[in-house]
Amino acid sequence: MSPAVSPRPARPVRFRRAAALLPLLLALPLAACSGDDGDPAPGPDTSSAPVQAPLDPVLAEIAGGSALDIGFAVATERLDEPEYREIVDKHASLVVAENVMKWETTEAADDAWDFAEGDRLAEYARTTGKKLYGHTLVWHSQLPAWVKSLDADAMQEAMEDHVRTQAEHFKGQAFAWDVVNEAIDEDGSRRSDSPFQQTLGDGYIADAFRVAHEADPDAQLCYNDYDIEGINAKSDGVYALVEDLLADDVPIHCLGIQGHLTAGKLPDDLQANIQRFVDLGLTVRVTELDIRVETPASEEALAQQAEDYASVATACLAVEGCLGLTVWGVTDRYSWIPMWFEGFGDALLWDADYETKPAFDSLVEAVGKGRPGRTA
Ligand code: G3I
């Protein structure tokens, strides 16, 4: 999405330091922050000198000790903007396309494939050593009109062809896919306004996973949805769906809990919810984290947001099978939130001027604590 903001000249991304972060940073293993091999460096005896806290925390490195991926949804056209790119280069261990691997981009007309921007992100991931997460194969939204008008046989063929062709194209590059996105309604039933649900009926979800698995047997195949952070009617519906798929030997491996949240309104059972899906045999990721506040944002709201980012990270880290946190965007400047939620915004870790927000510091702190019972 492109709000009416003109590109700005490049300058180094600045990092605000929070005093509260100091004790944590002092406790972090030096190698995690310096990127060295952990060998003590020769130098003067500093045992009685004031200890310098690392001033430049790198999220992906800090999280790496806990085997937690730190992802960002990337708008590929923004990678040309130096400040944007610097952040992704530095802090991400995983990238996902915010839009360019969706059906409306990759197959806007029947069998007319356009992987140019998806390939660009895949190349970026390959050359920078980051994981590429695929988003998304079957979704009712950002779906071209030609698909919606098909009869059942033609839609089934189109869906299978889309899943197969795209999964094969990115085979060996995308380690995981959101195979089916947002197929459940708030009450836990199948999403009634999905053309796939309406035309193909319940079986399309299992079919999509089976075809994706045939196309790329090594890929982790995920179901991804929003409003399923806590234990509620919708996440119960997703739970029942996953149980059924597993009982039918459908190749599903992971759950994406999107995490489009409002500051101060986090469910208190996020960890328990993640745990129940891990207990089913899936791995879990928070796939689209952003925590919106009313704008203009007050200091209190940003402090609440910071606390909430930390709570999400802490809940994920508390469950061994929760493998990643992906933030849905880089800077408030380009977030999708203000266009979709009037009066809300400022949901990300960097503000519109590429300044880190308190949420960045608190996320660093929470991730730096590692997994309970493990040394990060
Ligand atoms: O491609 C057109 C472009 O040609 C046009 O000039 C421009 C004018 O506004 O619009 C462009 O399309 C926009 C598209 O993003 C690509 O930038 C759409 O208007 C806009 O609605 C669309 O929004 C995306 C939204 O999905 C659509 O559902 C957001 O960027 C994207 O962040 C958002 O991501 C979704 C996840 O995929 C699934 N979960 C929910 C999440 C938030 O909605």
pLDDT in tens, 204-260: 999 999 999 999 999 999 999 999 999 999 999 999 999 999 999 999 999 999 999
Ligand 1, residue 329: give the atom nearest the CA: 32
Ligand 1, residue 258: give the atom nearest the CA: 39
CA of 303 to the centre of ligand 1 (A): 28
Does 3 have pLDDT greater than 80? no
CB 298 within 8 A of CB 266: no
265-275: average pLDDT: 98
Does 5 have pLDDT greater than 80? no
What is the distance of C-alpha 249 from the center of its chain?
26
The pLDDT tens digits of the residues spanning 163-218 come to: 999 999 999 999 999 999 999 999 999 999 999 999 999 999 999 999 999 999 99
User: What interhelical angle do 204-215 and 233-247 show, nearest 10?
Assistant: 60
For residue 141 and ligand 1, the question of a CB distance below 6 A is answered with yes
Lowest mean pLDDT among 7-11, 159-163, 263-267, 272-276: 7-11
Does 376 have pLDDT greater than 50? no
DSSP letters of 122-143? HHHHHHHT-EEEEEEEEESSS-
Output the residue whose Cα is nearest ligand 1's atom 41: 288
Percent of the chain surpassing pLDDT 70:
85
Which pLDDT does position 51 carry in this prediction? 44
Kindly compute the dihedral angle of the four CA atoms of residues 183, 109, 120, 207, in this order, to the nearest 10 degrees: 40
In this structure, what DSSP letter does residue 16 have? P
Residue ranges with strand state E in 5-164:
69-74, 94-97, 131-139
CA of 230 to the centre of ligand 1 (A): 26
Which pLDDT does position 375 carry in this prediction? 55
Percent of the chain surpassing pLDDT 90:
84
Which pLDDT does position 373 carry in this prediction? 82
Ligand 1, residue 104: give the atom nearest the CA: 1
Ligand 1, residue 339: give the atom nearest the CA: 21
**Count of Cβ atoms closer than 10 Å to residue 252 Cβ:** 26
pTM: 0.88
CA of 143 to the centre of ligand 1 (A): 11
> Using H for helix, E for strand and C for coil, what is the string for 105-120?
HHCCECCECCCHHHHH
Instruction: Indicate the top mutation candidate among 142, 181, 288 to test ligand 1's pocket, ranked by most ligand atoms within 8 A of CB.
Output: 142
Lowest mean pLDDT among 29-33, 144-148, 307-311: 29-33
CA of 338 to the centre of ligand 1 (A): 12
CB 53 within 8 A of CB 81: no
For residue 178 and ligand 1, the question of a CB distance below 6 A is answered with no
> Using H for helix, E for strand and C for coil, what is the string for 322-343?
EEEEEECCCEHHHCCHHHHCCC
Quick one: tokens of 202?
A: 């319940």
For residue 298 and ligand 1, the question of a CB distance below 6 A is answered with no
For residue 108 and ligand 1, the question of a CB distance below 6 A is answered with no
Of how many residues is the chain composed?
376
CA of 99 to the centre of ligand 1 (A): 6
78-93: average pLDDT: 98
46-52: average pLDDT: 43
Which pLDDT does position 43 carry in this prediction? 38
Q: Is the peptide bond before 199 cis (omega within 30 degrees of 0)?
A: no
d(CA 254, CA 128): 25
For residue 189 and ligand 1, the question of a CB distance below 6 A is answered with no
> Using H for helix, E for strand and C for coil, what is the string for 184-247?
ECCCCCECCCCHHHHHHCCCHHHHHHHHHHHHCCCCEEEEEECCCCCCCHHHHHHHHHHHHHHH
Could you give the angle at the alpha carbon of 93 between the alpha carbons of 91 and 357, nearest 5°?
A: 30
266-273: average pLDDT: 98
**Pairing label, strands 283-294, 174-181:** unpaired
Helix (H, G, I), strand (E, B) or coil at 289: strand
In this structure, what DSSP letter does residue 350 have? B
User: What interhelical angle do 152-169 and 204-215 show, nearest 10?
Assistant: 30
Quick one: tokens of 333?
A: 């400047």
CB 164 within 8 A of CB 219: no
The pLDDT tens digits of the residues spanning 283-298 come to: 999 999 999 999 999 9
The set of catalytic residues is 182, 288
Question: In the predicted model, what is the mean pLDDT of the chain?
Answer: 89
Quick one: tokens of 89?
A: 């280069």
Q: Residue 329 — left, alpha, or beta (φ > 0 → left; ψ -120 to 50 → alpha)?
A: left
CA of 92 to the centre of ligand 1 (A): 22
The pLDDT tens digits of the residues spanning 116-125 come to: 999 999 999 9
Quick one: tokens of 133?
A: 């997460």
Nearest to 345 by CA among 329, 360, 361: 329
